[in-house]
Amino acid sequence: MTDDETRVVSCRRDEWDVPAPNFAALLARSVPGGASRNISRPGDEGMFDPE
């Protein structure tokens, strides 16, 4: 992971809307931005091909 990488995580509001969110736990469940739709950022290599 790099500083300019976008990551997406699904969580309940009470997991992050607190004074001290557990960012490590949220990041552990995250996926690269677009991964759920099989979308890469421009310049990314290796699009998923199920065939």
d(CA 26, CA 11): 8
Asked if pLDDT for residue 47 goes beyond 70, the answer is no
Residue 15's pLDDT is 79
Mean pLDDT of 21-35: 75
Asked if pLDDT for residue 28 goes beyond 60, the answer is yes
d(CA 19, CA 44): 35
Residue 32's pLDDT is 64
d(CA 15, CA 17): 6
- Coil, strand or helix at 42: coil
Residue 29's pLDDT is 76
- Determine if residue 24 is left, alpha or beta; phi over 0 gives left, psi from -120 to 50 gives alpha, anything else beta: alpha
